[in-house]
Amino acid sequence: MNCLLLDTATEACSVVLQCQGQVLSRFEICPQQHSQRILPMVDEVLKEGGAVLNQLDFLGFGLGPGSFTGVRIATGILQGLALGSELPVVGISTLAAMAQQAITLYQAQEIYCAIDARMGEVYFAHYSAIEGLATLQGIEQVIPPEVAAELIDSTLLAYGVGTGWAAYPQIIPPQNFTLATDILYPNAEFMLPLAHALFIQGKAQTAEQIQPVYLRDTVTWKKLPGRE
């Protein structure tokens, strides 16, 4: 199957095209430049692959969790591409993408994902490798790091991925844990196996149906002294 996937949910921006047996990808760390970089990156891989959107089978995007702005950018861009090409869309968890990268690069079997969510919290999830695919154990959630630490099973030989471990090193288990310091952000290239599985399972949606995942639906701001 031929597809184009993109992600802008974190400080990283990435695109991958799988078409006619070739895989072409772009990955950049470009905070606050996603809206300027994502479409040129899409154009680059399409031109390099000699492909046009309506020749593909489906599109996909990192649906979060991540920054509100980044997740909205990916959702909006993908909806525009899907409406113009009339292609179905699959959404892939950014945490699952990082877990899949650990499975691909390190043959990891148990992966704990923690992205720094600011405000003293992390986006957190536990994934296991089942038939080579990152499979969620429990739920994805946004929680204080000390709560995340309590959810880690220290009897498992596990990998840690994401920016949360560097932000809160006190939650790193003292044993049976390997920190994958090269997997800090989701990369669209490693969403490919997950996207194919979702498409085969009939979980593709129309452009109008796709919904981002923020996890943190409400934000409580501290009031400044003297302000109501």
What is the model's pLDDT at position 217? 64
pLDDT value at residue 99: 98
Q: What is the pLDDT of residue 216?
A: 77
Sequence-distant (6+) residues with CB within 8 A of 166 are 116, 181, 184
Model confidence, pTM: 0.93
Residue 120: which region, alpha, beta or left (left: phi > 0; alpha: psi -120 to 50)? left
Summary mean pLDDT of the chain: 94
Q: What is the pLDDT of residues 138-194, one digit of tens each?
A: 999 999 999 999 999 999 999 999 999 999 999 999 999 999 999 999 999 999 999
Tokens, residue 144: 């204080």
Q: Which residues of the chain have pLDDT under 70?
A: 217-228
* Phi and psi, residue 65, nearest 5°: -75, 165
